[in-house]
Structure 1
Amino acid sequence: MNLIYTGKTKDVYELDNGNYLLNFKDNVTGENGVFDPGANTVGLVMEGAGRAGLSLTKFFFEKLKAANIPTHYIDADIKEATMTVLPATVFGKGLEVICRYRAVGSFLRRYGLYAQEGQALDAFVEVTLKDDQRQDPPISMSALEMLGILSAEEYATLENLTKQICQIVKDELFKKGIELYDIKLEFGRVKDGQVALIDEISGGNMRAYKDGVYIEPLELEKIMLSSE
């Protein structure tokens, strides 16, 4: 294997057959020891977070596969905390796509003049540039197209896939009495330029609440994967 990228929460290796291997770490994004799925830094290390995140990611990617939604997922090895994926190229230097059902986090910080904390949102899709130096600025479809990052057609596909994927995640959480407030996804181009979900779907990239109480990533994964 050839290490090609070291990230905040996972490392990426190239395999001999051209596919990639993601190694999930126990790092969680946040600031000052507090988890924040939208943060640009590793805020804390939670033992077992890597395997737990991968377990939930596998759970959701299998659901998406059954729904014929394109992803880069091939298979996962929970014991080794690794996931084998198709090769994919990101848009520009990377985009983050957030789907919001409640006004919290950076949405509330930006739009607090108009929005109330916890206000219901109708699957609002927001795209930001992965740019730590500039604190991941939001960007519109027109700007993305003008800057040559993606086409208007690709943006429409990305937005449609985001809503489909997040509805599936939201519905699965609801089965356990959990409400999804927001979730961060990543997309890229796989074979033949198809837009597909990449990266992960875990407690580390979403805010979820049960009976009005925030659920930590490890606890979320424990609840979701329990047979009860």
Structure 2
Amino acid sequence: MSNKTITDTNYTFPGQTHVYKGKVREVYSLDNDLLVMIATDRLSAFDVVMPKGIPYKGQILNQIATKMMRDTEDLVPNWLAATPDPNVAVGKKCDPFKVEMVIRGYMSGHAAREYKAGKRMLCGVPLPEGMKENDKFPQPIITPATKAEMGDHDEDISKEDILKRGIVSAEDYAVLEDYTRKLFQRGSEIAAERGLILVDTKYEFGKTADGEIVLIDEIHTPDSSRYFYADGYAERQEKGEAQKQLSKEFVRQWLISNGFQGLEGQTLPEMTDAYIETVSERYIELYENITGEPFVKADLSDIDKRIETNVLNYLNA
């Protein structure tokens, strides 16, 4: 099965100056202010990368992000120039802002855990009393996060602290906030058309060489967003039942049920080929639900070569 996934890349493209390897994506910087971003099939949960790749996962995330960038570029400019391969996005090199703009329409995930612990303020935003997990907020709230200096965990931060610490200027932050609300509104409308609810998501922004603020990274994918099925949402809330989710939460739940939450001394459970197959199928289901289109499987016979050929053809053209 290993040759059917791409979990590591080692390319040398013309004019290459730098390679950055993230948890699931690898970014090649070229000397003409272009970035080649490759979505691998690596799967991460609890800040740990699983030992085996998930077939088609990189293609799925890349294609959802590409589609959503195209569907929102009339509202917010983005970094994307082309997708020469199902796993690859090419675009403008940007200087990223050191905050993630997290926006929440519902009391779920991290917000719900904080609320249960008695907190009524999240990132400087007051939370209404009397809410239940997965209730809708009166208005979507922006709860930014910043990368911790040590390690890979994100940390909550308020708008006031961002400005006070000079992480982002007040002028730029106003743009980030405006773009975040516009993208979430459009994302919610797209989700509603597919019978889904966009619960919460995060956006990342950067500045191009000529000072334009643009959307970067991924957008509205199941790795960066949480979706609920709209059908039955109200009934489940009424009865206090768990919502039917469309995100990689199912992987986290499987790990928890097998005694793993990324804590010291815990051992990763074995991912059998049969289990990996089911994860791949769930990702395909996510793709089809989120985009409303059938998933077309790319050729997996030699992904490494396929990517290299497609990127070189694009760059040489």
- The alignment's TM-score, normalised by the length of structure 1, stands at 0.86
1:214 matched residue in structure 2: 245
1:204 matched residue in structure 2: 223
Answer whether contact 1:54 1:78 (CA < 8 A) is retained: no
Count of residue pairs brought into register by the alignment:
216
* In the alignment, structure 1 residue 163 sits paired with structure 2 residue 163: no
Answer whether contact 1:29 1:204 (CA < 8 A) is retained: no
* In the alignment, structure 1 residue 143 sits paired with structure 2 residue 164: no
* In the alignment, structure 1 residue 224 sits paired with structure 2 residue 290: yes
Report the alpha carbon displacement of residue 161 of structure 1 after superposing the two structures with TM: 0.2
1:177-192 matches, within 5 Å, as 177-192=195-210
1:152 matched residue in structure 2: 170
Give the unaligned 5+ runs of structure 2. 1-12, 119-128, 232-242, 249-282, 295-317
* In the alignment, structure 1 residue 102 sits paired with structure 2 residue 168: no
Answer whether contact 2:198 2:225 (CA < 8 A) is retained: yes
Q: Distance in 1 between matches of 2:89 and 2:227?
A: 24
1:83 matched residue in structure 2: 89
Q: 1:36-84 CA deviation, whole Å, 9 max, x = no partner?
A: xxxx44368432111001111111111122x1411111111343x1100
Aligned counterpart in structure 1 of residue 140 of structure 2, from 123, 145, 154:
123
1:37 matched residue in structure 2: none
Q: Which has the larger radius of gyration?
A: 2
Answer whether contact 2:104 2:200 (CA < 8 A) is retained: yes
Answer whether contact 2:201 2:224 (CA < 8 A) is retained: yes
Q: Distance in 1 between matches of 2:49 and 2:109?
A: 17
Aligned counterpart in structure 2 of residue 48 of structure 1, from 43, 49, 56:
56
Normalized per residue, the structure richer in strand is: 1
Q: CA RMSD in A?
A: 2.1
Q: Distance in 1 between matches of 2:152 and 2:216?
A: 23
1:22 matched residue in structure 2: 37
Q: Specify whether residues 221 and 78 from structure 1 end up closer, same or farther in structure 2 by C-alpha distance, changes over 3 A only.
A: farther
Q: Specify whether residues 134 and 56 from structure 1 end up closer, same or farther in structure 2 by C-alpha distance, changes over 3 A only.
A: closer
SS in 2 for 1:71: coil
Answer whether contact 2:75 2:183 (CA < 8 A) is retained: no
Report the alpha carbon displacement of residue 208 of structure 1 after superposing the two structures with TM: 0.5
SS in 2 for 1:172: helix
Q: Distance in 2 between matches of 1:111 and 1:135?
A: 20
Report the alpha carbon displacement of residue 176 of structure 1 after superposing the two structures with TM: 0.7
Give the unaligned 5+ runs of structure 1. 32-39
- The alignment's TM-score, normalised by the length of structure 2, stands at 0.63
Q: Distance in 2 between matches of 1:214 and 1:207?
A: 7
Q: 1:3-44 CA deviation, whole Å, 9 max, x = no partner?
A: 42110120000124221010001223323xxxxxxxx44368
Q: Distance in 2 between matches of 1:216 and 1:145?
A: 32
Q: Distance in 2 between matches of 1:72 and 1:98?
A: 19
Counterpart amino acid of 2:244? V
